[in-house]
Structure 1
Amino acid sequence: MKPGRGIDERQAKGKPGKLPVVVQMLLFMTLGNFSNSSYSPLAPFIKNSFLLTSAEVGLITSVIFMGAITVSLFSGFLVDRLGPYTAIKISFAIIASGAVIIFLGHTYSVLIGGYYAIGFGYGIITPASNSLMMKEYYPDHATRMGVKQSGVPLGAAFSAAILPIIALNFTLRGSYLILIIMALAIAIVLPWERRKESGQRIGKGYIKDLLSAGRSRPLLAVAVAVVFLSWGQQTLLTFFVLFEESKGIPIIFAEALLIVLLAGSVFGRMFWAYVSDRVFRKNRVHTLSLIMAIAGLVFVMFNLNGSNYALAVAFSFIIGMNAVGWNSTYVTVISEIAPRAKVGLFSGVSLMLTGMGTIIGTPVSGVIRDMFSFMEMWTVLGSALMVMSMVFLFVGSKYVKSSYS
């Protein structure tokens, strides 16, 4: 048994034991983001159904992350005290409730409320899966983290492939019925963990740990940099299909390009995990800085992506590889700088901080699009990322060191 492996049937009797942990977490990340990213492929249907502006569509993304930030305040408690599998069970129950709200509602405000609940539930999955992965696989965790995090774009890809077809044939409401069935099934099937810590409450000790994590310089350095990557990722996923449509590309092909983008992000998450270990010798700061610089450059060049289908496919894959593929390196470095018993807590706090890039950035991108055009939106975003890559290379090299032991 590896030194870092600490979750077994003696510690968590409710643990599903047949599949390797990395496969289980890949599955949960995929199915969780299937719901969480549903707004992206459904954006044209939502916009037409509710007669929304681009800024209002962008607000949906912000609301999802507001839900994730809200739960991040105590996701560390759910994960580290109740157990990661119990936390994931609760997560999917909340996601199902959010989908029910949207399914039964008829107004934009209800739609927003439902996506807030979906984001709230999804925000628990990453801290829970990070905690399990570090306990199971440390120190050989980075590549497996990349595999686990590839579930995020896989879920989005399945969402892009399945939900628009359902919306076209069975109305927008039918797409949310699929989300309800999927999330509810997982919430019912997953067992409760029985842990000694489960009786503990959030008190002064937890608040002290929360504040301590919030003052961690390595955590703050990474989080501030990733704010810009989060802004870029969610702007891309929110407006990508609308951008391709604006160039005269049919919606079916635009949705297919979104799948290509997400395929690029799956490749990117595993590719950058490998590069971080093998090329940069586990220097996550250098890896993230390079990803930010490349993503920024591709965003600026994204304006050159005309209606040529072959060029559109190439750009979609490359931008997905970088602007969305950074996440595996990010969750790895957050898990490494966290103390062993506080991976869930640090993951939750980092999510709270980096979510500001989505909450503030995506509506700003929508406003830029409404006031000017997509060209200005991509240029501002790409320029900000390139500048931040240089800042993070300097600041991150000074503060970010692994403290996982």
Structure 2
Amino acid sequence: MDNSTLVKPFKSINRWHMLGWLLVAQVMVAFIGRSLAPLGVLIGQDLALTKAQIGMLPAALFLGQSIASIPAGFIVDRIGSKRLLLYLSFGLGGAFMLMAISSNYFFVLLMVAIGGVGYGTMHPTSNKGILHWFQQKRGTAMGIKQMGVTLGSALSALLLLPLAAAWGWRMALLAACALLMATGVLAYRFYRDPPSAEPHEPERKISWSYLKESIGAMFRHKPLVLLSIAAMGLSGSQLILNTYIVLFAYEQLGLSLLLAGMLLVISEVSGSFGRVAWGIISDTIFKGQRLIVLVYIAALSIGIALMVTQLPEGISFWAIASVVAVFGFCISGFNGIWMNAATELVPFKQAGIASGFTLMVGSWGVIIGPPLFGYIVDLSGDFNYGWFFLSFVLLFVIVLLLWAKRLANKETQHNKGV
């Protein structure tokens, strides 16, 4: 009786309107968090940073995200999405505002990491909101919300870089952070949490010992471990492309800063299409064989990375844009296939812990990859050595994926035999 009266006022709320606020918040959070890639060249010039130091900026962001992801999940379960939308907006916006008024590199790095906590909190916050509001069409709703990540990143390169070139990166970032905070206030004002998510189901409590046992089982699952290490290379390569394509095109190929920034937009938009297309390809052409699709993605990316090393200075914008579009389609389009592969390697009841495990391992590629690429470029004075390094990493990824596929096939045959 209580439940029906409690839920009644919420029936007049349009769940698609709630999705709209989650999408707007996701776009703005990505708009600020992903601004480090297009603004990296200007921040580097202002603070006299090496390429490796520029690469540390997105690494710090994703370190903050990795620290935040599990605690944020616990917190959103307790206080809901509505309040966290406000808190994370002010956390990310406030940290990046402090970064924008500082000239001390280590303080800038610290603020980026703290901002990464807000950035990383957005994923469990928005996911929880969708799980609450969408019992049907949940996949569609989640897909729409996920568009906010690449859309925010593309808008950052499309809008923030020209503003930074005109006003300076500090003023542009301060204005963008103020807009993020205003969005957080509006989302808090208009977004609503449902009174209960599936109130008919009792809350399950998982003990620490059960959690340790589950994580230990993931470490013992060799195909999953190999896939997760391979995902480190793929994730790191993806962020290397996003972090350095603007610098590479501007410094080595001689493109203007605005045209170089457009390459990042092209890469991100192509990656969005890639995430959908590779999923369709894996379902239809390869009949659900995700690991072999990842092998093809890595192999194509090697070929394109080697092609990038042959691009001459003064090449036309459209020539490099076509190469970057294919590069982004491959190396930024692998994420959905990776998640599907991880959950399909284990029994269905372990799909959740497998997702968390592979994300935990794979995220270290994002933290390590860009600074290492930048260090190689600093040491050699030539971006081409960095692209050769990326190709070598992806070759190692292919070896790991083929090994994982072989072990997974053995397990399948063994289970069928039993």
Kept in 2: contact 1:80–1:342 (CA 8 A): no
Distance across 1 between alignment mates of 2:386 and 2:233:
14
* 1:242 corresponds to: 247
Hey, what does 1:254 align to over in structure 2? Answer: 260
Q: What is the alpha-carbon distance in structure 1 between the residues aligned to residue 89 and residue 117 of structure 2?
A: 10
Aligned partner of 1:32 among 19, 26, 29: 29
Q: 2:299·2:395 contact (CA, 8 Å) conserved in 1? A: yes
Give the TM-score taking structure 2 as reference length: 0.79
The residue identity in structure 1 corresponding to 2:46 is: S
Shift of 1:370: 0.9
The reply to whether residue 317 of structure 1 matches residue 347 of structure 2 is no
For residue 226 of structure 1, what is the amino acid of its counterpart? Answer: A
User: Are 2:270 and 1:264 aligned?
Assistant: yes
Q: Which residue of 2 is the match for residue 376 of structure 1?
A: 385
1:78 and 1:28 mapped to 2: Cα distance? Answer: 18
Which amino acid counterpart does residue 359 of structure 2 have in structure 1? L
* Equivalent position amino acid for 1:123 in 2: G
Please identify, of 11-20 and 292-301, the stretch whose mean Cα deviation from structure 2 is larger: 11-20
Task: Measure, in 2, the Cα distance between the counterparts of 1:385 and 1:12.
Answer: 53
Distance 1:139 1:341 in 2: 23
| Per-residue CA distance 1:296-315 (angstroms, 9 max, x = gap) | 22222221233232320111
The answer to whether the 8 Å contact 2:42/2:169 transfers is yes
1:391 aligns with 2:400: yes
Sort the Cα spacing of 1:147 and 1:192 in 2 relative to 1 into closer, same or farther, 3 A: closer
- 1:71: how far off? 0.9
Question: Cα distance, 1:392 vs. partner?
Answer: 1.4
- Deviation, structure 1 residue 291: 1.8
Aligned residue in 1 for 2:123: 126
State how far apart, in whole Å, the 1-side matches of 2:12 and 2:87 are: 15
| 1:115 alignment counterpart | 112
Instruction: Show the counterpart of 2:306.
Output: 300
1:4 aligned partner? none
Q: Deviations over 1:95-147 (max 9, x none)?
A: 12222222333322222122112211121233444556678779987777555
Offset of residue 319 of structure 1:
0.6
Aligned to 1:172: 169
Separation of aligned partners in 1, 2:128 and 2:82: 10
Alignment partner, residue 200 of structure 1: none
Runs of 5+ in structure 1 lacking a partner? Answer: 1-8, 198-202
Give CA-to-partner distance per residue, 1:179-212, whole Å, 9 cap, x none: 3223213332234745599xxxxx9825743662
State the Cα deviation string for residues 315-347 of structure 1 (Å, max 9, x = none): 11011111112223334555676967984x765
Shift of 1:79: 4.4
Normalising by structure 1, we get a TM-score of 0.82
Partner of 1:160: 157
How far, CA to CA, are the matches of 2:12 and 2:93 in structure 1?
22
Q: What is residue 327 of structure 1 aligned with on the other side?
A: 335
1:181 to 178, 182, 203: 178
Q: Closer, same or farther in 2 for the Cα pair 1:169/1:295, shift >3 Å? A: same
Distance 1:186 1:331 in 2: 30
Larger radius of gyration: 2
Aligned to 2:3: none
Deviation, 1:54, is 0.6
**1:281 alignment counterpart:** 287
Cα 1:10–1:293 shift into 2, 3 Å:
farther
Q: How far is the alpha carbon of 1:396 from its aligned partner?
A: 4.8
Q: What SS does the corresponding residue of 1:304 show, helix, strand or coil? A: coil
Bigger relative CO (Cα 8 Å, ≥ 6 apart): 1
Counterparts of 2:12 and 2:230 in 1: how far apart (Å)? 35
1:73-92 matches, within 5 Å, as 73-83=70-80, 87-92=84-89
Aligned with residue 207 of structure 2, among 205, 208, 231: 205
Note if 1:229 corresponds to 2:234. yes
Cα shift at 1:280: 3.0
Partner of 1:3: none
Separation in 2 of the partners of 1:72 and 1:262?
23
**1: CA distance between counterparts of 2:367 and 2:357?**
15
Q: Which residue of 1 aligns with 2:202?
A: none
Residue identity opposite 1:276 in structure 2: S
- If each structure's helix is expressed as a fraction of its own residues, which one has the higher value? 2
Q: CA, structure 1 residues 75+117, in 2 after alignment: closer, same or farther (shift >3 Å)?
A: same
Q: Offset at 1:34?
A: 1.1
1:374 offset after TM fit, Å? 1.1
Change (3 A) 1:393 1:371: same
How much identity, in percent, do the aligned residues show?
25
Would you say the 8 A contact 1:103–1:177 is kept in 2? yes
Q: Distance in 1 between matches of 2:351 and 2:7?
A: 21
Cα distance in 2 for residues equivalent to 1:34 and 1:187: 13
Checking the alignment, whether the CA contact within 8 Å between 2:28 and 2:183 is kept in structure 1 is no
Tell me if the contact between 2:18 and 2:192 (Cα under 8 Å) persists in the aligned partners. no
Aligned to 1:6: none
Partner of 1:48: 45
Q: Quickly say closer, same or farther: Cα 1:92–1:114, change in 2 above 3 A.
A: same
Distance 1:90 1:334 in 2: 32
Tell me if structure 1 keeps the 8 A contact 2:226–2:400: no
User: Is the 2:228–2:362 contact (alpha carbons within 8 Å) kept by the matching residues of 1?
Assistant: yes
Relative to structure 1, the CA distance from residue 172 to residue 274 in structure 2 (aligned partners, 3 Å threshold; closer, same or farther) is: same
CA distance in 1, matches of 2:9, 2:67: 27
- State the shift of 1:230 in Å: 1.2
CA distance in 2, matches of 1:266, 1:355: 19
